[in-house]
Chain A
Amino acid sequence: MATTTQQAPTNVVQIHKAQSKGESLWYDAWKRLRRNRFALIGAVIILLNVIMAVFAPQIAPQDFRKQDLLLNNATPRWVLNIFPSMVASDEGGYVTVSNKFILGADNLGRDLFSRIVYGSRVSLLVAFVGATVSVLIGVPFGLLSGYLGGRVDNGMMRFVDLMYAFPALLFIILLMSFFRASFVGQNATGITKTLSDIDAASGGMIFIFIGIGLTSWMRIARLTRGQTLATREAEYITAARSMGTTTPTIIYQHILPNILGPIIVTATLTIPVYISFEAFLSFIGLGVNPPTPSWGAMISEGAANIRSFPNQAVFPALALFLVMFAFNFLGDGLRDALDPRMRGVD
C-alpha cells in the first residue's frame, strides 16, 4: 500500500510534464515522418536533386551546350559492359569508346551527364512551380466555394467540372502551341514582348508553367472545398462567428490551418504528374527550347536511336524515375504523418 501511494504522485507529475511540452500537430507529424525510412530517403533524394540543380555549373564537368563532334555518340567502357548490345569499335562494332564522358555523349557530341545535371533544373522548377500555382489558385477557389456554399458553390463547382472534362493533355498541347506561336517572334509587343522575353530567358519554361498551372488546380480546389464544407460546421467555427469574427479571419485563421494537411499531401503527390507532363511536352517538342536540356527531350532524342545507343535514353529515364519515385515516397510518408486516418486509402 505504502509503495503505491508513493508512486502515484510521481506518475501524475510525469504525465503532466509530458502534456505541458505541448506537442503541436506539426511536431507530431514530423515525429511520425522521421520514423518513416522511405519518406526520408525520398526527401534526401529530392534534397540532393535541389543541390544538383542549384550548383549545376559547379557539378557538371562541362557546359551543356559544348559539342565535341569528333566524339559524337562516344561511350565509356563501363557503359558498354552494362549494355551488351553495344559493341565497341575495337571489337568490330560501331561504338566509339571514350572515357572522356562519364555516361557517354549524345548524337551531337554533348556530355550526357552534364545535360542530366542541368536537366534537373527544369524538372524541379516545374515540380515546385506547378505545385505552387495549383495551390495558389486551387486553395482560395475551394475555400471560397466551400465557405460561401449555396448557389455560388454550385456555380463554382460546375466550372471545375467543366475544366475537368477537358482532356488535360490535349488541352495543354493546344495551349503550348498557342503560347509559342503567338508570343514568340518578332511581332510581339508590350506584355506579349515581356512574356516572350521571360520565356526566352527561362529556356521556354514560363509557358510550361502557365499551361500546367491552368490545367492542374482543379483537384486541389475540389479537395479544399470538400474539407472546408466539413470544417465549416464545426463548433469552434460557430464559436468564432458568435464572437463576431469576420469571414476572412474565420477562413484564414480557423479553417485554413485545419485543412492544410490534406492539401499539402495532395500537392506533393501530384508533383510527379507535373514532372511527367513537362517530360512529355519536351518529348514531343513543345516543351523547353533546345539546347536547354530537359530529361523529356533527352529521352526523346535517345529513343530515336534506342537500337544503337540505348544508354542515351535509359540514363535520363532513370533520372526522371528517381525524382518521381522520391516525390511519391515523400508524399506517401507525408500522408501517413499528417493524417494517419488516410493511411492506405486512395
Chain B
Amino acid sequence: MEGVSVPLHNCLIRKIDQMLAFVLRRSMWMLVVLFAVSIVTFFLLRAVPGGPFNTERGLPPGVLENLEAKYGLDDPPLIQYVNYIVDITIPRLTDGSFRRSFSEDYLINIDLPFGDERALRWMNFGPSLRQRSRTVNSIFQDNLPISIELGFAALAVALAIGIPLGVIAALKRNSWFDYSSMGVAILGVSVPTIVLAPILQWIFGVELKILPVSGWGSPEQAIMPSFALGFAQSALIARLTRASLLQIMHEDYIRTARAKGLSERVVVAKHALKNAMIPVVTILGPLAAALLTGTFVTEVIFGIPGMGKFFVQSITNRDYTVVMGTVLMYAVFLVLANLLVDITYAWIDPRIRYD
C-alpha cells in the first residue's frame, strides 16, 4: 500500500536525483578517461625518437639548447607533463595587465564584472612548436570549426538517408524496395570513405564536372565530402532502423492501436517510431566517434583545411603540443557524445534506470 500512496512528484524527484548522481558518476569517469588518454599520448610521444627541433640540417647545439629551455623541453618528462596539465586544467584569474602571448593564449576567457578588467581564463594548450607564429588554440579556432561542420554535415546525410530508407524498408517488408534498400545498405557498409571519395571525385568532379574535386568553403564543395563520410553510416542506420521497427510492429500495443481504428500512418508515426528509434539513438555515440575520426580521412582526400591534416603533419613533425591538443580535443568530443547518448537513452525509454 505504501508504494501506491507515494505522490507522483516524489517519484519525479527521485528520478531526477538518480539522474544527477548518474551524470556525476559518469563525469568522474570521463575525467579518469581523459587523464589516461593524456598520459598515454604524452609519454608515447616523448618516447618517439626525434623532437620538434630536429630539422634535416640540424641546429647548432647552443640554439637547440636555448629552444628547448624556452619551451621547457629540458625538464624531466614528468615535470613537463604536470606543467602541461596545470596549464590546461587550472583556471587563472588575470587583471588588466594580461596580454595575450604565444605562451599564454587561453581558449576560454570570461570577463568578470568586478575589479580592474579582471577575467577568468581557462585552457591554455600552449604554443605550437613547429609553427612559431601560432598557438594550439589559434589552430583550434581556425580549423576545428571546419572539422565540426564536416562532421555535422555527414551526420545529417547519414540520418537523412538512413532513417527514411530503414522505415520504408520495414513497412514494405519483403518488397523489391526492401531488398534493394538493404542491398544498398550492405553496399554502403563496404565502401569506406577512402574508396567512395576517389570514385565520387572521378564521377562528379572529373567526368561530369558538376562538383568541385576538392577544397572547402562553398556549399558545393561540402556535398561530396559529407556524402563520402556519411554514406557508410547511413547504411548502418538504415539496417538498424529497419530491424528495430520490424520488431516493434509485432508488439501488442501496435495491435491495440490498430484495433482502435487508428490509421496506419498514425500508428507508425505516433506509436512505433519513437520506440523504434531507441537502438538508433544508442549507436549515435559510436557513430559520432566514427564520423569524427572519419573527418580525418575525408579532410586528407578532399584537401579540407580541418584538424585532420594538422594532426598527421604534427605527428611527423613531432609538434608535441599540437598532437596532444588534438588528441585531447577529440577524446573530449567522443566521451561527451557517449555521455549524451546514455542520457537520451534513459530519457526516451523510462524503463531504463540510471545505474
Give A contacts to B, CB under 8 Å: 83-85, 161-162, 165-170, 173-175, 177-178, 181-182, 185, 272, 276, 279-280, 283-284, 296, 299, 302-303, 306-307, 310, 313-314, 317-318, 320-321, 324-325, 327-329, 332, 344-346
Verify A317–B194 contact, CB threshold 8 A.
yes
Verify A306–B207 contact, CB threshold 8 A.
no
| Binary A-proximity of B224-258 (CB < 8 A = 1, otherwise 0) | 00000000000000011011001000000000000
Which residues of chain A come closer than 8 Å to B300, judged between CB atoms? 283-284
Verify A166–B40 contact, CB threshold 8 A.
yes
Known contacts A167-B334, A328-B189, A178 near B48 by CB under 8 Å: yes
Please report the C-alpha to C-alpha distance between residue A307 and residue B214 in the assembled complex, in whole angstroms.
10
Chain A residue with Cβ nearest B207? A85
Please report the C-alpha to C-alpha distance between residue A161 and residue B32 in the assembled complex, in whole angstroms.
11
A-B CB contact pairs (8 Å), 26 listed: A84-B207, A165-B36, A165-B37, A165-B331, A166-B331, A170-B311, A170-B327, A173-B311, A174-B45, A178-B44, A178-B48, A181-B48, A182-B48, A272-B192, A276-B192, A283-B300, A303-B198, A306-B205, A310-B198, A310-B202, A313-B198, A317-B198, A318-B195, A321-B195, A328-B189, A345-B243
Task: Decide if B112 is an interface residue (CB 8 Å cutoff).
Answer: no
Which residues of chain B come closer than 8 Å to A173, judged between CB atoms? 311-312, 315
Which residues of chain A come closer than 8 Å to B191, judged between CB atoms? 321, 324
Q: CB within 8 Å of A: which of B184-216? A: 186-187, 189-192, 194-195, 197-199, 201-202, 205-207, 213
Chain B residue with Cβ nearest A324? B190
Main SS of chain B's interface residues? Answer: helix
Verify A85–B243 contact, CB threshold 8 A.
no
Chain B residue with Cβ nearest A178? B48
Which residues of chain A come closer than 8 Å to B206, judged between CB atoms? 85, 306-307, 310
CB distance from B316 to the nearest CB of A (A): 7
Top 10 A-B pairs ranked by shortest CB distance?
A276-B192, A313-B198, A325-B190, A169-B293, A310-B202, A324-B190, A344-B243, A165-B33, A317-B195, A167-B330
Please report the C-alpha to C-alpha distance between residue A247 and residue B186 in the assembled complex, in whole angstroms.
41
Task: Decide if B8 is an interface residue (CB 8 Å cutoff).
Answer: no
Main SS of chain A's interface residues? Answer: helix
Please report the C-alpha to C-alpha distance between residue A168 and residue B48 in the assembled complex, in whole angstroms.
19
Known contacts A162-B36, A165-B334, A321 near B186 by CB under 8 Å: no
Verify A332–B243 contact, CB threshold 8 A.
no
Known contacts A182-B49, A306-B213, A344-B242, A174 near B323 by CB under 8 Å: yes
Q: CB within 8 Å of A: which of B154-200? A: 186-187, 189-192, 194-195, 197-199
Verify B194–A320 contact, CB threshold 8 A.
yes
Verify B311–A314 contact, CB threshold 8 A.
no
Verify B239–A167 contact, CB threshold 8 A.
no
CB distance from B197 to the nearest CB of A (A): 7
Verify B189–A283 contact, CB threshold 8 A.
no
Please report the C-alpha to C-alpha distance between residue A145 and residue B79 in the assembled complex, in whole angstroms.
36
Verify B192–A324 contact, CB threshold 8 A.
yes
Verify A306–B198 contact, CB threshold 8 A.
yes
Known contacts A272-B189, A344-B239, A280 near B194 by CB under 8 Å: yes
Task: Decide if B135 is an interface residue (CB 8 Å cutoff).
Answer: no
Verify B246–A344 contact, CB threshold 8 A.
yes
Which residues of chain A come closer than 8 Å to B48, judged between CB atoms? 177-178, 181-182
Which residues of chain B come closer than 8 Å to A284, judged between CB atoms? 300, 312
Known contacts A166-B40, A174-B315, A303 near B293 by CB under 8 Å: no
Please report the C-alpha to C-alpha distance between residue A162 and residue B331 in the assembled complex, in whole angstroms.
11
Please report the C-alpha to C-alpha distance between residue A83 and residue B201 in the assembled complex, in whole angstroms.
13
Verify B334–A314 contact, CB threshold 8 A.
no
Please report the C-alpha to C-alpha distance between residue A345 and residue B330 in the assembled complex, in whole angstroms.
30
Please report the C-alpha to C-alpha distance between residue A277 and residue B161 in the assembled complex, in whole angstroms.
25
Which residues of chain B come closer than 8 Å to A283, judged between CB atoms? 194, 297, 300-301
Task: Decide if B268 is an interface residue (CB 8 Å cutoff).
Answer: no
CB distance from A131 to the nearest CB of B (A): 17
Verify A167–B186 contact, CB threshold 8 A.
no
Task: Decide if B119 is an interface residue (CB 8 Å cutoff).
Answer: no
Verify B44–A170 contact, CB threshold 8 A.
no
- Scoring B186, B189, B300, B323 by chain A CB atoms within 10 A of each residue's CB, the highest score goes to B189
Chain A residue with Cβ nearest B213? A307
Please report the C-alpha to C-alpha distance between residue A307 and residue B303 in the assembled complex, in whole angstroms.
14
Which residues of chain B come closer than 8 Å to A318, judged between CB atoms? 195, 199
Which residues of chain B come closer than 8 Å to A279, judged between CB atoms? 192, 194
CB distance from B203 to the nearest CB of A (A): 9
Known contacts A170-B293, A175-B44, A303 near B301 by CB under 8 Å: yes
| Binary A-proximity of B305-319 (CB < 8 A = 1, otherwise 0) | 000000110011000
Please report the C-alpha to C-alpha distance between residue A272 and residue B186 in the assembled complex, in whole angstroms.
12
Q: A166-B40, A332-B186 are in contact. List 20 more A-B contacts (CB 8 A).
A: A162-B36, A170-B296, A170-B327, A170-B330, A173-B312, A174-B315, A177-B316, A182-B47, A280-B192, A283-B301, A284-B300, A303-B201, A306-B201, A307-B213, A313-B202, A314-B198, A317-B199, A321-B195, A325-B186, A329-B186
Please report the C-alpha to C-alpha distance between residue A307 and residue B36 in the assembled complex, in whole angstroms.
44
Specify which of B187, B201, B315, B331 is in contact with A167 (CB 8 Å cutoff).
Answer: B331
